[in-house]
Amino acid sequence: MRRLLEYALLAAALIFADRVANAGELHVPTNATAGSEATISTSGSGSATFYLFGPGTAVKRSIQLGSDVHLSAKDLQYSGSYTAVLGGENAAATFYVSPGKAADLAFLARPSRVPASTRQVISGTAFVFDANHNLVTQPTNVNFSLGVNGGKAEARSVKTKDGVAYVILDSERQAGPAQFTSSLDDTNVRRVVQVVASDPCNLRMSAKPAKNAILVETEPIRDCAGNPVPDGTIVTFTEVDNTGRSTVDARIKKGIAEATLPQSQSALLSVASGVVVGNEIHWGGH
Amino acid sequence: MAKRLFPLAFGLLFLSGSLFAAQPVQVQLSTSGVAPREVEDNTEKAIIRDYQRAWQSLAAALSENRTDLLANDFIGYAQDELHRRVAEQQNSGLHTRFIDHGHSLKAIMYSQDGSAMQLRDTAQIEVQQLDGNSVIHSDQITQSYLVVMTAGENRWKVRILQALPSEQ
């Protein structure tokens, strides 16, 4: 009876040793890159089901243990953490796939329209990707450039942190469509930021008598950098006399604004646009 | 009486099923040190709310192999990647189940114009991979992610969700 038990234990030990010797194992890559092929080697004997789970990937294949499992560039298109599993073998391994080389940019530029000569008003944010749209986490230089045609462009080189680089820039003195570009080696992305004249500078008007009225008219209205203030901007003319106050809002048309104020023997005339106040005229005996 | 009680019981059963499917996801957000713009209180609340929803959608989509569940919370490359994962799972009869133990988010960059935010997430998740109804692998992991969320019409959507290697 005792001998029988010993034989049974020996047989069980041999079966266990055989199972251990033939059990499947996985050897995953240690330096895989997104969008590149890789190989997972297996050991053991017999057949098994191989599974791969990762970002954008779920693979199921029948394999022979002891052979290599070939993973295509498409299987490993995305950067991230992958888990390889041998079904029924209690074998699994995790490996990391790094992003590839920087190859593409996404560029956010805001706003699309800004007043000239304004500090810290234009922002640009660049996201650096590899050829498979993975964020490249290795620090990479991104070149930003902002300039109106014919003017001197402002250029900055910024190193990415976690795949992102940003700049905040002043607007140009000169109005017009500014080219805002971010570039990375051969790749560049361009956005247009429309720089418009800022608030009027030296707002001046003149007045002359008209039929039963006073005709007021500004000189050509420009900002402090000499850019013409856009047509349609509101200019307010005010007349104060002993009968009260009259106000007329006029739009700039072809660079100037004009209005007709009520006739008065004696009045104080003034002009303003936004927060900018222009000259005053003492009309008649005021 | 029984006829009246049946819809009520059915409704309660349905409700309890829905609540089970959409388990709450714990998200904490730190905004200290974010640049170049500070995060407003309302934005902070919106990011937490929308990131919670995004993980609920992701878990449901990968468990049920339904891409339609991703549309409200993911956009761009993150959405493309998840669509492909769901399609490949569907083709092979595979599923992934997440038991979410919480996310610790840190805002890294909030764009000057307020349209994009980059964050780092340290997630505690139990992941189960299934072939049909059989669990073929299960793992309890702590995983870091780089996340980019962009402001949409009425919510923030996840545009990039990229796992980082364990040492980062």
Question: Residues of A with CB below 8 A from B136's CB?
Answer: 51, 85, 87
Q: What is the pTM of this model?
A: 0.81
Which tens digit of pLDDT belongs to each residue from A132-143?
999 999 999 999
CB atoms A134 and B162 under 8 Å: yes
Question: Residues of B with CB below 8 A from A111's CB?
Answer: 113
User: Would residue B59 count as lying in a domain?
Assistant: yes
- Please give the residue of chain A at the shortest CA–CA distance from B143: A81
Nearest to A55 among B85, B116, B136 (CB): B85
What was the pLDDT predicted at B13? 41
Rounded CA Rg of chain A:
38
User: Would residue B142 count as lying in a domain?
Assistant: yes
Q: Is the pLDDT score of A7 beyond 70? A: no
Domains, in order of start, for chain A: 2-98 (2.60.40), 104-196 (2.60.40.1930), 200-284 (2.60.40.1930)
Q: Who's near A59: CB < 8 A, 6+ residues apart?
A: A50, A51, A52, A53, A71, A75, B88, B92
What was the pLDDT predicted at A20? 46
Name residue, tokens 């295509």: A72
State the complex-level ipTM: 0.86
- Taking alpha carbons only, the member of A61, A55, A54 closest to residue A83 is A54
CATH number at residue B69: 3.10.450.240
Average the pLDDT over A250-262 and give the result. 96
| Dist CA B150 CA A114 (whole Å) | 23
- The residue segments making up the domain with residue B118 are 25-163
**pLDDT averaged over every residue in chain A:** 90
What was the pLDDT predicted at B5? 47
DSSP A24-88: -EEE--SSEETTS-EEEEEESSSEEEEEEEETTEEEEEEEETTSEEEE-TTTT-S-EEEEEEEET
CA dihedral A37, A38, A42, A46 (to 10 degrees): 0
Q: Provide the domain count of chain B.
A: 1
B14 band by pLDDT with thresholds 50, 70 and 90: very low
CB B28 within 8 A of CB B103: yes
User: Would residue B4 count as lying in a domain?
Assistant: no
Q: Who's near A38: CB < 8 A, 6+ residues apart?
A: A29, A32, A71, A76, A97
User: Would residue B168 count as lying in a domain?
Assistant: no
Min Cα separation A284/chain B (Å): 52
Min Cα separation A84/chain B (Å): 9
Report helix, strand or coil for B43. helix
Rounded CA Rg of chain B:
18
Which tens digit of pLDDT belongs to each residue from A165-218?
999 999 988 899 999 999 998 899 999 999 999 889 889 999 999 989 999 999
Report helix, strand or coil for A255. coil
| Dist CA A126 CA B144 (whole Å) | 22
CB atoms B111 and A108 under 8 Å: yes
Percent residues over pLDDT 70 in chain A: 91
A225 band by pLDDT with thresholds 50, 70 and 90: confident
CB atoms B136 and A87 under 8 Å: yes
Strand order across the beta sheet in which A25-27 lies: A25-27, A38-43, A68-71
What was the pLDDT predicted at A34? 98
Which tens digit of pLDDT belongs to each residue from B62-98?
999 999 999 999 999 999 999 999 999 999 999 999 9
Share in percent of chain B as helix, strand, coil (round to 5):
40, 40, 20
What token pair was written down for B83? 């669509």
- Taking alpha carbons only, the member of A210, A218, A219, A221 closest to residue A261 is A210
A21 band by pLDDT with thresholds 50, 70 and 90: very low
Q: Which residues pair with B122 in a beta bridge?
A: B104, B144
- Taking alpha carbons only, the member of B163, B160, B164 closest to residue B76 is B160
User: Would residue B128 count as lying in a domain?
Assistant: yes
Which tens digit of pLDDT belongs to each residue from B122-162?
999 999 999 999 999 999 999 999 999 999 889 999 999 99
CB atoms B85 and A92 under 8 Å: no
Residue type, A286: H
Nearest to B146 among A60, A92, A163 (CB): A163
Which tens digit of pLDDT belongs to each residue from A81-124?
999 999 987 899 999 999 999 999 999 999 999 999 899 999 99
